[in-house]
């Protein structure tokens, strides 16, 4: 996973192994922290002072200083935590399969923010209206959970293929990574581990 520090423009990368790497704007890369397998998500805190790393195997979130020092366990007891996001109010959320989404408090306590038992994916995003989006890898669709908890498929027919189109007429071949920009557009990376297909970045716009 990757996270960008918007102040320094440093990029932070986990390798789904045990390494956290920092890459500066010139492309110089350095491993700044090593822990236990399997690192999955990475996020920069809203104040730019800390990094948060999810461990997919151990069900934990590690907190470090922005330079990778002073690592400590921040949250435990999560089920397959994946990507970590902060919303526009500074609230932390973590994707989980099959629990869907955890909300993480300032003291590290975890609660279920939304629950979608059908979610079989890896990553989430959240817009400024409070809607969550899910990249459902194994169902090959993109879901939305609105602010009232209603779940709906907004894109993808369920067929494992990369086909452009509107809503359910489109298709995704193993949707995996997911992020949202300041205009509300979604970006989805795809990869099918069985067929080695996908390997694309898809854009979803709302009209």
**In this predicted structure, what is the pLDDT of residue 134?**
95
d(CA 80, CA 40): 9
What average pLDDT does range 35-63 have in this prediction? 95
Question: Predicted confidence band at 166 (pLDDT cuts at 50, 70, 90)?
Answer: very high
Encoded tokens for 74: 């921040």
Question: Predicted confidence band at 22 (pLDDT cuts at 50, 70, 90)?
Answer: very high
What average pLDDT does the chain have? 94
**In this predicted structure, what is the pLDDT of residue 119?**
87
Contact 127, 134 (CB under 8 A): no
Find how far residue 3's CA is from the centre of its chain: 10
Residue written as tokens 């279920």? 112
d(CA 85, CA 124): 8
d(CA 80, CA 66): 24
**In this predicted structure, what is the pLDDT of residue 99?**
73
What average pLDDT does range 64-92 have in this prediction? 95
**In this predicted structure, what is the pLDDT of residue 103?**
96
- The radius of gyration of the chain from alpha carbons, rounded to an integer in Å, stands at 16
What average pLDDT does range 128-156 have in this prediction? 94
Contact 194, 202 (CB under 8 A): no
Percentage above 70 pLDDT, the chain: 100
What average pLDDT does range 113-121 have in this prediction? 87
């Amino acid at each position: 996973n990757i996270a960008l520090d918007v102040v320094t423009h440093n990029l932070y990368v986990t390798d789904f192994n045990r390494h956290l790497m920092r890459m500066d704007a010139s492309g110089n890369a350095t491993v700044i922290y090593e822990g236990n397998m399997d690192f999955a998500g990475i996020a920069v805190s809203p104040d730019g002072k800390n990094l948060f790393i999810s461990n997919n195997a151990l069900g934990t979130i590690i907190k470090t200083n922005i330079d990778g020092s002073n690592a400590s366990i921040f949250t435990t007891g999560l089920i397959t935590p994946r990507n970590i996001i902060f919303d526009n109010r500074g609230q932390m959320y973590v994707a989980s399969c099959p629990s869907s989404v955890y909300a993480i408090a300032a003291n590290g306590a975890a609660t279920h923010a939304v629950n979608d038992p059908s979610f079989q994916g890896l990553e989430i995003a959240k817009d400024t209206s409070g809607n969550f989006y899910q990249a459902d890898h194994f169902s090959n669709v993109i879901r939305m959970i609105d602010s009232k908890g209603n779940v709906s498929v907004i894109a993808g027919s369920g067929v494992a293929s990369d086909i452009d189109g509107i809503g359910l007429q489109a298709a995704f071949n193993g949707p995996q990574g997911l992020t949202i920009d300041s205009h509300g557009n979604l970006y989805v990376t795809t990869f099918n581990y069985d067929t080695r297909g996908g390997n694309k970045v898809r854009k979803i716009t709302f009209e």
